[in-house]
Amino acid sequence: NFSHTGANPLCGDVIRIDAYINKHQRISKVKWGGRGCFLSQAAASLLTEEIKGMTLQEVQAFSELRLFSLLGVPLNTYKLKCALLPLQVLQAGAFCGSGPPGWPECEAYAYHFSSCNVSVKGNLAS
C-alpha cells in the first residue's frame, strides 16, 4: 500500500493518492484528494479509475499519452504540468511503495520531480 502527495508550486495544485494493494499484488482500491485547477482534478479522477486492477509495474509503465487520451482535450504548454501531476504522484508512489521505507532510490526519484518544478513527497502507509 502507498500514500503519496505531490504539488506544483508554480500554480498551487496539490494531489494526494492512496492505493491499496491486494494479495494478488494488484491495486484493489484507490482514493485521491487535492485542490487545484479543473484539469489536475479531472486527471486525478480519471487516472485513479483507470488503474484499478493494475500491478505496480503496470502503473509505472502508464504513459503520458494514455493519460492525455483519457482526458480527451487538447492541452497547451501551460496545462501539461497540471495534467501530468496526478500521473507523476501515482508513479512516484508506486515506485517508492515497491521498496523498503526510506530507501535512497525513492529519494532520487522524488528529486527528479523537484527538478521539474514538481515536488513529490511520500511515505508508506500500512
Q: Which CATH class is domain 9-124?
A: alpha beta
| Residue of higher predicted confidence among 100 and 121 | 100
Task: Please report where in the chains the cell 495534467 appears, as a residue.
Answer: 83
Query: Quick check: pTM over 0.85?
Result: no
Q: Give the C-alpha distances (Å, rounded to integers) separating 18 from 6, 14, 64, 89, 100.
A: 12, 14, 20, 10, 17
pLDDT for res 123: 36
Averaged pLDDT for residues 96-108: 58
pLDDT digits over 48-88, tens only?
999 999 998 999 999 999 999 999 998 888 888 899 999 99
| Residue of higher predicted confidence among 116 and 82 | 82
Euclidean distance between CA atoms 120 and 32, whole angstroms: 15
